């Protein structure tokens, strides 16, 4: 089953936005938050973040001590019985503020999208790392 172009574009925009930190763009956190519905849920490991305030907290926490981030998305899959459920996987590299690097960390993500507007928005996002 091929992935529709709007989903591919959205996933690429998500990981591109994830890789732009606040030192590179003062609006980076807000641009990321805007990819989510106002009442979205984001789960990272054991921690759940609710709504735009929670997603913003997630973003701020995720950039502490991080200078650069680079996601490589290696696959996008749609649930054949639910076109709004998407799985992604890939790797991520980090450049830390102390000069160290962390490379090749594998991740997977499960997204539930709201596709009722002009562009998809995230309703639910769970990251496995």
Q: Give 30-87 pLDDT, tens digit per residue.
A: 999 999 999 999 999 999 999 999 999 999 999 999 999 999 999 999 999 999 999 9
- In terms of phi and psi (left: phi > 0; alpha: psi -120 to 50; beta: otherwise), the region of 45 is left
Answer whether 70's CB lies under 8 Å from 15's CB: no
Q: What is the 3-state secondary structure (H, E, C) of the chain?
A: CCCCHHHHHHHHHHHHHHCCCCCCCCCHHHHHHCCEEEEEEEEECCEEEEHHHHHHHHHHHHCCCEEEEEEEEEEEEEECCEEEEEEEEEEEEEEECCCCEEEEEEEEEEEEEECCCCCCEEEEEEEEC
Q: Give the CATH number of the domain where residue 46 resides.
A: 3.10.450.50
pTM metric for this prediction: 0.94
Q: Which domain holds residue 17?
A: 5-128
Sheet holding 47-50, edge to edge: 47-50, 36-44, 121-128, 101-114, 82-96, 66-79
Mean pLDDT of 108-114: 98
Show the tokens assigned to 62.
């995720």
The domain tally of the chain equals 1
User: So what's the pLDDT on residue 1?
Assistant: 67
Mean pLDDT of 4-25: 96
């Amino acid at each position: 089953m091929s992935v529709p172009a709007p989903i591919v574009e959205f996933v690429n925009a998500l990981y591109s936005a994830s890789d732009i930190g606040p030192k590179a763009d003062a609006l980076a956190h807000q641009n990321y938050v805007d990819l989510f519905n106002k009442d979205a849920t984001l789960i990272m490991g054991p921690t759940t973040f609710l709504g735009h305030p929670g997603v913003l907290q997630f973003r701020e926490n995720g950039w502490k001590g991080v200078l650069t981030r680079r996601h490589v998305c290696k696959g996008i899959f749609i649930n054949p019985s639910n076109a709004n459920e998407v799985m992604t996987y890939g790797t991520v590299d980090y450049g830390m503020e102390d000069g160290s690097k962390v490379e090749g960390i594998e991740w997977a993500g499960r997204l539930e999208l709201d596709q009722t507007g002009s562009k998809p928005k995230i309703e639910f996002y769970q990251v496995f790392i």
